[in-house]
Structure 1
Amino acid sequence: MGEILFLAHRVPFPPDRGDKIRSHHLLKGLGKLGPVHVGTFGETSQDMAQKSALALVAKTHALIERTKPLPQAGIEAVLKGKPVSLTAFDHAAMRRYVAKTLGNHRIDTIFVFSSQMGQYIPDDFAGRVVIDLCDVDSAKFEAYAHAGQRRWINRREGRLLATEEARLANRADTTLLISDSEAALFRSRIDGLEEADIRALGNGIDAEFFDPAHVPVQPDLEEGEGPQLLFTGQMDYPPNVAAAEWVIENVMPELRKMHDRARFHIVGRAPVASLKNRHGENGVRVWGEVPDVRSFLKSADLVVAPLLIARGVQNKVLEAMAMAKAIVLTPGAATGIEAKDDVHFAVARPEAPEMLRRIATLLADEGKRAEMGRAARDFVLANMSWDSVHIELERLLVSGDTGRDAV
């Protein structure tokens, strides 16, 4: 195939958070198919230090620093009648890079990662357009509003994003979602998509990297006398914050009545103040960012993922499974992973008695935890490798297996 322009709202290096993990591995898969040009944004000094990494995989690249404050983006969005998500990533330098790349190179395919970047597809581009929405972001903002979080702002964002998602799906040759259930949700919410090609392309896991045989233990967890529970994730992301706080308030007080030295470890960058303030309460330990989450996964007795609002496939769940850990999770956190309850993981409704029962049952049975962990790792090895995702990506792009004729 010809050359590819890959547009991502966050630089795909290092692959250390959910969206970056997916964009990183999709970029690697695209690089196997042809020359790739990358336009992306950075927000931190670590992000902006990734130019050398981009240069190794991209024929050309633009890593543009995104400095627009969110309040400014919000004001602009209201004045223009646009979603804040799009306004925050609207940058003249990115438009110049896209125009220059299309003018100087034979770009056959524009691959857009996330709805924020769809605004950069020129109306007159005649080649193939593939858009990876990952999740239905409009539904996520509606869920935030329903949960009482900034109701007016999130309702508005959900409504305007739904319009943009529909526009993109009708513009693209193929629109990708992260799971069959997410694709079905998208179809059910958006009118006028009868002719749109909407399909699922799942996440994978690097099971060689997440291999407990090659990971050292975490001494603090190993030395703990009581059971060690673990929750991982980006800890300024509202669904992760809500899940961790739910465990602190609804599970740990009762679990400590059974195991007075039980600990709940919250591991992940940028914990919000409300979580930091819970450090030390009912066995809670808030670690923040750590050098290697794998050692925490290896040494935990049990991993929990009680997400109340969940979109798409959860990398935190795949990582725990690859590390051969038993994990208790809500149905939302299990979405897109075709594993079996009580075999590969333990599913519990987000109700304190059921969650506590499943946690307590597994903590009382070390053999069951080990068996479930082995089954979990075997499952992801067999079914959820990034190589298999790359094969699907190749089938889509090289064979021209899209819903419309590519140019």
Structure 2
Amino acid sequence: MRKLLALMPVIPYPPHQGTNIRNYNLLRHLADEYTIHLLTFYEGPKPSIPGPLREICEIVEAVPNPSHSMPKRLLRLISSPLPDVIYRKSSPLLLERLRELLAQNRYDLVHVEGIEMAQYGLWIASHRTGRKPALVFGDQNAEYLLQKRAFETDIRQLRYWPAAIYSLIQWQKLARYEAAICRKFDRVIAVSEADGEALKKLVPELEVCIVPNGIDVDFYSDFTPRNPPLADWSPWALVFTGKMDFRPNVDAALWFAQEILPKVREKFPQACFYVVGRNPHPRLRAIMDREGVVVTGYVEDIRPFIAFASVFVVPIRMGGGTRLKLLEAMAMKKAVVSTTLGAEGYPFRHGLHLLLADEPETFAEAVCRLLENEKERVRLGEEAFKLVDERYRWEKIVKALKETYEELLAR
């Protein structure tokens, strides 16, 4: 079997949030054709390697996540031409282990997933002989676009101007850095056509392979809950899931709770907004004590929360890539209301698979419309499920990645 070295930002298990869901399933479906070595980071005490990863990877090497103080980050913000995200995973220890693995093994391919790990692919590109091993970069977001949109959102409110200034600086740095990455790797993977086009704006001649996010449809569709996940569960539950220290999710939760939920509760006083996901950011304290808002923090399984949702909401106003949370909700046949940006990168149609709304008034109206009409909720859920089941199973999606690998190896 051919040999693949995968560089990933965190141990991709358990597959409970976007990055881990994607990375674990890519590895799982590549393991039947490739011998996989995984080099990654861990946070906190050194963990034992999860059994499911040991089953699909011949070698799993994990080093501690580097720590960087806020003063150092602020200094680099001013002095360094490189974006802040690079330093989050800048580790001499991982580089040393990478050099050892490259010396001990003849890899056919090196797949680098995530912009924070791209620095190690650039190191390989500058030290390899010829074009072996082939280098593949998986860009889970067009990162410069994420920061551009964050700037455009935060600049609207005076209290968020410090964050807006940060994003303005990072946007410029990321555009230069992302362009350099795209030129050095042999192939670039994007999760959507929209992200692919955004990268081509940086490097017009770039060839981009689209490997969408996928989902284990059966894991969600076969789930049968017995009871609501929390006591006093609302009869009009509005659920939003995600990693709650991720800036686009934080902004989405605040915007919905502060601007949209009050309008919904005028018609449905018992409506409750459930913010479900680990590591709630301190900014979310502003909504934790609001009537009709529940911030859960980490939960072992998000499926009960989705299953008992009346409407699943995706009030995303910044970011890039695609949102796995949409696929999760649709695999459970849930009616979804999303911003246009929240559904970007997917072929979902307004009125057929979900409802789209970009202003607080229209978003609230869409939510109320669905709360009033159970038949429409069911219809949207059924249509969305058909599309997800047809297009977004991992076994279909990884086929495109394997074809890209084969093309590179045949050169």
The SS at the match of 2:380 is: helix
Give, in whole Å, the separation in 2 of the partners of 1:152 and 1:363.
39
Give, in whole Å, the separation in 2 of the partners of 1:76 and 1:310.
23
Counterpart check, 1:58 vs 2:61: no
Counterpart of 2:303 in structure 1 is 294
Of residues 169-178 and 273-282 in structure 1, the stretch that sits farther from structure 2 once superposed is: 273-282
Deviations 1:196-243 (A, max 9, x none): 32221101011111125434442547x646411111111111111111
Counterpart of 2:399 in structure 1 is 391
| Alignment of structure 1 residues 266-277 onto 2, 5 Å | 266-277=275-286
The SS at the match of 1:209 is: helix
- How many residues align structurally? 397
Counterpart of 2:135 in structure 1 is 129
Deviations 1:286-327 (A, max 9, x none): 111112110011111111101111311101111000011001
| Alignment of structure 1 residues 8-407 onto 2, 5 Å | 8-45=8-45, 48-50=47-49, 52-71=51-70, 72-75=72-75, 78-121=78-121, 122=124, 123-125=126-128, 126-127=131-132, 128-146=134-152, 147-148=154-155, 149=160, 150-188=163-201, 190-191=202-203, 193-194=204-205, 196-211=206-221, 213-218=223-228, 220=230, 224=233, 226-349=235-358, 351-398=359-406, 400=407, 402=408
The SS at the match of 2:108 is: strand
Give, in whole Å, the separation in 2 of the partners of 1:139 and 1:157.
10
Give, in whole Å, the separation in 2 of the partners of 1:369 and 1:200.
31
Of residues 362-371 and 249-258 in structure 1, the stretch that sits farther from structure 2 once superposed is: 249-258
What is the CA-CA distance between 1:142 and the residue it aligns to? 2.4
Give, in whole Å, the separation in 2 of the partners of 1:217 and 1:339.
31
Q: What 5-or-longer segments of structure 1 have no aligned partner?
A: none
Give, in whole Å, the separation in 2 of the partners of 1:51 and 1:291.
16
The verdict on how the C-alpha distance between 1:304 and 1:167 changes in structure 2, with shifts beyond 3 A counting, is same
User: What's the C-alpha RMSD, in Å, of the aligned pairs?
Assistant: 2.1
Deviations 1:104-144 (A, max 9, x none): 11101110101221211321323211100111111212222
Give, in whole Å, the separation in 1 of the partners of 2:168 and 2:117.
21
The SS at the match of 2:287 is: coil
What is the CA-CA distance between 1:282 and the residue it aligns to? 3.4
Identity in percent: 25
Give, in whole Å, the separation in 1 of the partners of 2:249 and 2:313.
11
Amino acid of the structure 2 residue aligned with 1:131: F
The SS at the match of 2:345 is: coil
Give, in whole Å, the separation in 1 of the partners of 2:410 and 2:179.
20
What is the CA-CA distance between 1:373 and the residue it aligns to? 1.1
The SS at the match of 2:216 is: coil
Contact 1:226 1:260 in 2 (8 A): no
Give, in whole Å, the separation in 2 of the partners of 1:388 and 1:362.
32
Contact 1:329 1:348 in 2 (8 A): yes
What is the CA-CA distance between 1:50 and the residue it aligns to? 3.4
Give, in whole Å, the separation in 2 of the partners of 1:201 and 1:256.
40
The SS at the match of 1:264 is: strand
The SS at the match of 2:300 is: coil
Contact 2:12 2:23 in 1 (8 A): yes
Contact 1:346 1:358 in 2 (8 A): yes
Q: What 5-or-longer segments of structure 2 have no aligned partner?
A: none
Contact 1:230 1:304 in 2 (8 A): yes
What is the CA-CA distance between 1:151 and the residue it aligns to? 3.4
Amino acid of the structure 2 residue aligned with 1:352: P
TM normalised by structure 2 equals 0.91
Q: Any runs of at least 4 consecutive aligned residues in structure 1 with deviations exceeding 6 A, and if so which?
A: none
Contact 1:51 1:63 in 2 (8 A): no
